[in-house]
Chain A
């Protein structure tokens, strides 16, 4: 029985062949309304790409998003994202097909999973690229769009800046292999 434990333990250890992580990926959203367009960005995207388990797990502390105007950031946190109650945007899912990564080749990938923001979770599909940039490093780039109304984020009516209903999100993360 002791051996079984050992075997299981070893198996456990070897199961993480291709697991990549980051805590400083980049996330950018673009709000492109007809009269006013602005971006918010953060360099605190945390992510895990586990090609053995086929698990993708990303989250962003929404408090770190900056649009360049402090008051707008505060209103965004307080009135729209309500970050005190819902501090994170999260995506957990898997790749539709696990790619064979070749050095410096952009491989298109598709992911399906649950995206959660403002306390609302929805199934989404995201397409992007995975690139092996070093022996122990992969680069992930992805773009997707979210509708604010899907996540019960109200559009402001009486304001002097416009918020687009459709927000374009761009992720870019350099993930390092971890054991």
Chain B
């Protein structure tokens, strides 16, 4: 008993002698970061948030089908569908964007809201975001014998939930249930489907291969149409402020409504084409270095 008391006393003496501070995280619920390299992943939006007051600029291209061979320089001669997209973060959770794609001269506004962010300690195991928007086909249809579509008939809308998890520093997966709605899906539009309402499940995957590049995958099975499913495979390269995304994909469409309605050919093998995105995030109100 006495011995143990003595030991205790000695022990209590030794602790403060070598007492270091206990290492504590300032924020125990640090969010998991860079689930994906950019707010875009091949063609789909991701849960990757933007910091308040920053702007994400994406320029996206998809070219003609590869099967034209060298004669058409593997589709590059066929002309590209190009989309410019600007997304501004009004807060750390909400951003609003505008985009314009050459396919059907489509003007588009959209918003993205981050509901949950996965945390490093797994208290929140997934990230959850919502996005939705609408746009208008501004092509000139005056050449048609019948009356051209009015503004409302040219519009289409979409919405999607994005549920993502970074399983490890190497592997991230996002599941995005999505819908799109065309007010008047005319045959003259560059879409294959004739339905008004489309449902699909977007699947995005990232497998990090080197510190700053990843293999990327996209598969969008259609849930209520006979159109074939969108398939994409690519490579992301993170280069400082830029993220370059190169991919092969089965559809030339670059925005959500067209993604679901524009079709993907009869089989992926005849419709595969090259695509290329450049993503850049600009910070506004940035702090100047004092020195």
A15 vs B12: C-alpha distance when bound (angstroms): 12
Q: If the complex has contacts A4-B9, A12-B16, A78-B34, are A71 and B23 also in contact, measured as CB distance less than 8 A? A: no
**Contact residues of B: prevailing secondary structure:** loop
One of A8, A39, A47, A158 near B21 (C-beta < 8 A): A47
Contact B51 A70 (CB under 8 A): yes
Check if A84 is an interface residue, CB within 8 A of chain B: yes
Residues of B within 8 A of A75 (CB): 34, 238, 240
B25 to chain A, nearest CB (A): 5
Contact B6 A1 (CB under 8 A): yes
Interface residues on B, range: 35 or more
A145 to chain B, nearest CB (A): 14
Contact B211 A159 (CB under 8 A): no
Contact A44 B26 (CB under 8 A): yes
Contact A39 B291 (CB under 8 A): yes
Check if B289 is an interface residue, CB within 8 A of chain A: yes
Q: If the complex has contacts A37-B291, A70-B51, are A12 and B239 also in contact, measured as CB distance less than 8 A? A: no
With both beta carbons as reference points, the residue of chain B lying nearest to A88 in the complex is identified as: B23
A31 to chain B, nearest CB (A): 9
Which of A58-66, A104-112, A120-128, A133-141 has 4 or more CB atoms under 8 Å from chain B?
Answer: A58-66
Residues of A within 8 A of B120 (CB): 84
A156 vs B210: C-alpha distance when bound (angstroms): 13
A15 vs B18: C-alpha distance when bound (angstroms): 12
A48 vs B283: C-alpha distance when bound (angstroms): 36
One of B5, B12, B286 near A12 (C-beta < 8 A): B12
Contact B9 A79 (CB under 8 A): no
One of A4, A15, A78, A154 near B16 (C-beta < 8 A): A15
* Number of chain A residues whose Cβ lies closer than 8 Å to a Cβ of chain B: 51
Q: Mark B1-21, 1 if CB is under 8 A from A, else 0.
A: 010011011101100111111
Contact A8 B9 (CB under 8 A): yes
Q: Mark B53-85, 1 if CB is under 8 A from A, else 0.
A: 010000000000000000000000000000000
Contact B12 A9 (CB under 8 A): yes
Contact B23 A90 (CB under 8 A): yes
Contact A71 B13 (CB under 8 A): no
Q: Mark A37-64, 1 if CB is under 8 A from B, else 0.
A: 1110000101110000101011101011
Contact A57 B26 (CB under 8 A): no
A55 vs B20: C-alpha distance when bound (angstroms): 8
A84 vs B19: C-alpha distance when bound (angstroms): 25
With both beta carbons as reference points, the residue of chain A lying nearest to B27 in the complex is identified as: A63
Residues of B within 8 A of A8 (CB): 9-10, 12-13
* A-B pairs with beta carbons under 8 Å apart, 22 shown: A2-B5, A5-B9, A11-B13, A38-B289, A39-B290, A46-B24, A48-B20, A55-B20, A57-B21, A63-B30, A64-B27, A68-B283, A69-B54, A69-B283, A70-B283, A71-B54, A71-B241, A71-B283, A74-B33, A78-B34, A158-B237, A160-B239
Q: Which 5 A-B pairs have the closest CB atoms?
A: A70-B51, A159-B240, A68-B287, A160-B240, A8-B9
